[in-house]
Structure 1
Amino acid sequence: MSGVVNKSSPVMVRPSEEHGLVAATVQLSSLDQGVPPCAISSLLMFDQPIDKPIETIKQALSQALVDYRPVSGRLAGDRIACTTDEWGVPFVGASATCALDEVTVALLPDLAVAYAGSLCGDHEPLLQMQVTEFSCGGFVVAVTWNHILADGAGMGQFLQAVGELARGLPRPSVVPVRSATALGARGLPPSTVGAERSAMGFRPSKGEGAFLDITVPWSLIGRVRAQCARCTVFEAVAAVLWRCRTRAAIPDTAEQDQMAPLVFACNVRKLFGLGADDGYYGNCFVLQWVPATRAQVADGDIRDVVGLIRRAKEKIPELLEGGAAEREREQTPLYNILGVSSWRGVGLDEADFGGGRPARVMWHEELMVVPACAVLPPPCKGKDDDDGVNVASLCVKPEHADAFLAELAAM
């Protein structure tokens, strides 16, 4: 069944208390400045109903903005400006004619509010929210935000705060921090900031990627981990995606040394002496580049592919010392690159607006910045994924989608 989503006109949600409207600006950190103003969307799907979800969550959002004032601000150069009570978060209430378990990939774009352009402008809101009620009583909370505002962990913290207020708590349990000084004296050196922005600074393209909702089976993950001592779930999943995608999307030609690199994100809040304060919700991740040829990834031993990822993880401290400048990025065709990020453990699946945690957390994007996959949290039912690890993929062009899925099935 294909449902229809009926949306109300957006309303601007502002902080609910006057003391939240103090004129201020927030300095962007070096980690923020390494991120281009691209949009990112997260959809939290709840199968347990709550009373009047649209009004309840809208009111809780207004309360949360009192403590999270920069979320309602706007970009102003290297700062977030919070200087007028006219700014806020656009909020859309919606209803769907189908049940939550009937949602298809084709319906996902209708469940979130999109930005007008391929990149977020300085004049545009830093966050937009949509709450959609379904015929079964379930609902979806979708947030689309400018990546400069927060990473996945920061947005997870914010949505948990909105959930606490929706459940009747007087204040969020975690005191939010957004000042760049919350990172202490440690930050990214200028050379690394430039490399980070280069890695994510490609112009997004709509329609060039096939959005796929896939599962990497536990049986396959187990076989990879059995061959690789101390292999993590992320390393196994990333290695599988990297191999399958490389085989499907990059032709085997006489040019055997053509590059097919992997780029993955690493949360560094508590790593390498960065020392981010508790409650910090700005960007606090780095991108690690894993150079490799097509032959190494597509034809080499899977243990060697995992080894490339593991050694790259061990070198992440070098990014904080300026060791990221010398890379082959400029010479590598965009479509040869695969980006992988993990949303497991960042807190998006811990938001609770009154009926429990989400049945599922989903990522959806129509604009391909780089070919990318998001490793999603497990279903929040008190148990881990039954079949495998869920991955949302925008990493291949439509003409390569069948080959990618076939490679995954054959591993």
Structure 2
Amino acid sequence: MASSSSLSFTVRKSEPELVTPAKPTPHGLKQLSDIDDQEGLRFQIPVIQFYGSDPSMKGRDPVQAIREGLAKALVFYYPFAGRLREGPGRKLLVDCTAEGVMFIEADADVRLDQFGDSLQPPFPCLEELLYDVPGSSGVLNCPLLLIQVTRLICGGFIFALRLNHTMSDAAGLVQFMSAVGEMARGAAVPSVQPVWQRELLNARDPPKVSCVHHEYDQVADTKGTLIPLDDMAHRSFFFGPQEVSALRKHVPPHLRHCSGFELLTACLWRCRTIALQPDPEEEVRVLCIVNARAKCLLPEGFYGNAFAFPVALTAAGKLCQNPLGYALELVRKAKADVTGEYMKSVADLMVSKGRPHFTVVRTYLVSDVTRAGFGEVDFGWGKAVYGGPAKGGVGAIPGVASFYIPFRNGKGEDGIVVPVCLPGPAMERFVVELEGMIKDTVDPPYDGTSTFVVSAL
């Protein structure tokens, strides 16, 4: 976020309140699916949306509009107003108590333009724009959503949200946020009716793990290869048409029809591994989050977690010494592994193995949210200037994950921005490696003014 590391402003917050459904809603217990309640999703994930002023909305208060829209949307999405409980076998259930979601009204003495032109995570001011209400951040017996709406002095506002990830993935969350926006704009019912049906992603009886799931391997961190918390460098990298075209020239002709996601994932995994300098014999892996809604034939409106973590793995030495095509073929095969049967096998593994966490040792995890639709959410003031993840990584483990986020750079080019977190020395090696790949093949010839490093915080 350009210049925001030195941006100073004051946020005045009202006392947190609980927003409850606008009408009576059903009570009782609703089970999460066996995909929802795995250990790797038992955390809170923050999202942030920046909105500019709209002259046609003069006199309307975004806080009031969103609070009212939220209460109306919770009538349809009433499980969000409940609390999670844990049953036998670590099974998670929503107790539909209608207690409500946590809501904070706030004002900041800052204009939207003061945040700069390049809004992207990580946002250094996040703790001011999404206040961590004491006692609210647990997985069990806590609000499932925390929302803060902060008015800006220019007439714009910031909508920040924290979600208990066991309840929804990015697609499900955007569906809910869009419903809040529709209700805030006066709709009587959401355009997409929510569907619970979490049993569609439950384990079979008896469980039958029919696929190989290296993403849940229990790997001992014998050499201290988990990334340290101290001396972490955060940078964001922009990949527009020019950069993607340059990278595509590094792969053999028969692989050049690959998707941009596959190409970027292979490239970043390889550059990151080179930068971290692991033992050549050590196994390294990349986990690709793959939306499985279509593969599982889930109904429209389903808002639970419906993705897998397929993994590509190889020896570090092989990944670093082979050309980019080697990594690319591994990534493409991992993605292709995800089928309806694969998802059933994951659910069966969760029940059989005690709902394990995905492997984090010598692992890189990538999630593409470019098509999730965060930027399309409209509360009445138009589309978001920025909408999407509020942090560059996933969960509490630094450096393990990156999001691919839609972004327009200072030249007006549309592309993808990727926040990366690495130890300081490794980050310098990563930049050199990545820049070298782009400089070697960029067309027209590289002139030393590449802007693919869009921020360093």
TM category (shorter chain) comes to 0.7 to 0.9
Hey, what does 1:359 align to over in structure 2?
385
The code of the aligned residue for 2:97 comes to T
Change (3 A) 1:38 1:398: farther
Separation in structure 2 between the aligned mates of residue 156 and residue 125 of structure 1, nearest angstrom: 18
How does 1:396-407 map onto structure 2 within 5 Å?
396-407=422-433
Change (3 A) 1:81 1:322: closer
Give a deviation string over 1:113-153, Cα, whole Å, max 9, x none. 44768973311111111112223322221111111010011
Hey, what does 2:403 align to over in structure 1?
374
Q: Structure 1: where are the runs of 5+ without partners? A: none
Is the 2:109–2:153 contact (alpha carbons within 8 Å) kept by the matching residues of 1?
yes
Pair 1:54 & 2:63 matched: yes
SS in 2 for 1:292: strand
Change (3 A) 1:335 1:180: closer
1:218 to 233, 241, 254: 241
Comparing 307-316 with 187-196, greater Cα deviation is found at 187-196
How does 1:5-404 map onto structure 2 within 5 Å?
5-6=10-11, 7-18=13-24, 20=25, 22-34=26-38, 35-49=40-54, 50=57, 51-77=60-86, 78-85=91-98, 87-103=99-115, 105-114=123-132, 120-182=138-200, 191=209, 209-226=232-249, 227=251, 228-251=255-278, 255-271=279-295, 274-317=296-339, 319-320=342-343, 322=345, 334=360, 336-365=362-391, 367-368=396-397, 371-378=400-407, 386=413, 388-394=415-421, 396-404=422-430
Change (3 A) 1:235 1:190: same
Change (3 A) 1:117 1:14: closer
SS in 2 for 1:312: helix
Change (3 A) 1:309 1:193: closer
TM-score with structure 1 setting the length: 0.84
Separation in structure 1 between the aligned mates of residue 313 and residue 101 of structure 2, nearest angstrom: 40
Comparing 50-59 with 203-212, greater Cα deviation is found at 203-212
Comparing 315-324 with 68-77, greater Cα deviation is found at 315-324
Q: Offset at 1:225?
A: 3.1
SS in 2 for 1:61: helix
Separation in structure 2 between the aligned mates of residue 239 and residue 156 of structure 1, nearest angstrom: 28
Change (3 A) 1:101 1:264: farther
The code of the aligned residue for 1:39 comes to Q
Is the 2:287–2:365 contact (alpha carbons within 8 Å) kept by the matching residues of 1?
yes
Separation in structure 2 between the aligned mates of residue 62 and residue 245 of structure 1, nearest angstrom: 44
Is the 1:337–1:370 contact (alpha carbons within 8 Å) kept by the matching residues of 2?
no
Separation in structure 2 between the aligned mates of residue 163 and residue 206 of structure 1, nearest angstrom: 38
SS in 2 for 1:316: coil
Separation in structure 2 between the aligned mates of residue 237 and residue 262 of structure 1, nearest angstrom: 12
Separation in structure 1 between the aligned mates of residue 157 and residue 379 of structure 2, nearest angstrom: 11
Hey, what does 1:4 align to over in structure 2?
9
Is the 2:73–2:190 contact (alpha carbons within 8 Å) kept by the matching residues of 1?
yes
Change (3 A) 1:291 1:354: same
Give a deviation string over 1:33-85, Cα, whole Å, max 9, x none. 23431111111122244531111111111111110001111111234334434
The code of the aligned residue for 2:107 comes to S
Number of residue pairs aligned between Structure 1 and Structure 2: 393
The code of the aligned residue for 2:363 comes to I
Q: Offset at 1:190?
A: 6.5
Is the 1:260–1:291 contact (alpha carbons within 8 Å) kept by the matching residues of 2?
yes
Is the 2:215–2:311 contact (alpha carbons within 8 Å) kept by the matching residues of 1?
no
Q: Offset at 1:178?
A: 1.6
Q: Offset at 1:198?
A: 6.7
Is the 1:261–1:289 contact (alpha carbons within 8 Å) kept by the matching residues of 2?
yes
Q: What's the C-alpha RMSD, in Å, of the aligned pairs?
A: 3.5
Is the 2:286–2:363 contact (alpha carbons within 8 Å) kept by the matching residues of 1?
yes
Change (3 A) 1:81 1:198: farther
The code of the aligned residue for 1:262 comes to V
Separation in structure 2 between the aligned mates of residue 65 and residue 204 of structure 1, nearest angstrom: 40
Separation in structure 1 between the aligned mates of residue 205 and residue 382 of structure 2, nearest angstrom: 37
The code of the aligned residue for 1:374 comes to F
Separation in structure 2 between the aligned mates of residue 406 and residue 188 of structure 1, nearest angstrom: 51
Give a deviation string over 1:223-272, Cα, whole Å, max 9, x none. 23353322111112212221221122234xxx42212210111110011x
Is the 2:174–2:373 contact (alpha carbons within 8 Å) kept by the matching residues of 1?
yes
Q: Offset at 1:389?
A: 1.0
Separation in structure 2 between the aligned mates of residue 350 and residue 173 of structure 1, nearest angstrom: 14
Q: Structure 2: where are the runs of 5+ without partners? A: 1-5, 350-355, 438-457
Change (3 A) 1:393 1:95: farther
Is the 2:374–2:388 contact (alpha carbons within 8 Å) kept by the matching residues of 1?
no
TM-score with structure 2 setting the length: 0.76
Change (3 A) 1:211 1:55: farther
Change (3 A) 1:408 1:115: farther
Separation in structure 1 between the aligned mates of residue 157 and residue 306 of structure 2, nearest angstrom: 30
SS in 1 for 2:303: coil
Is the 1:113–1:143 contact (alpha carbons within 8 Å) kept by the matching residues of 2?
no
Q: Offset at 1:292?
A: 1.7
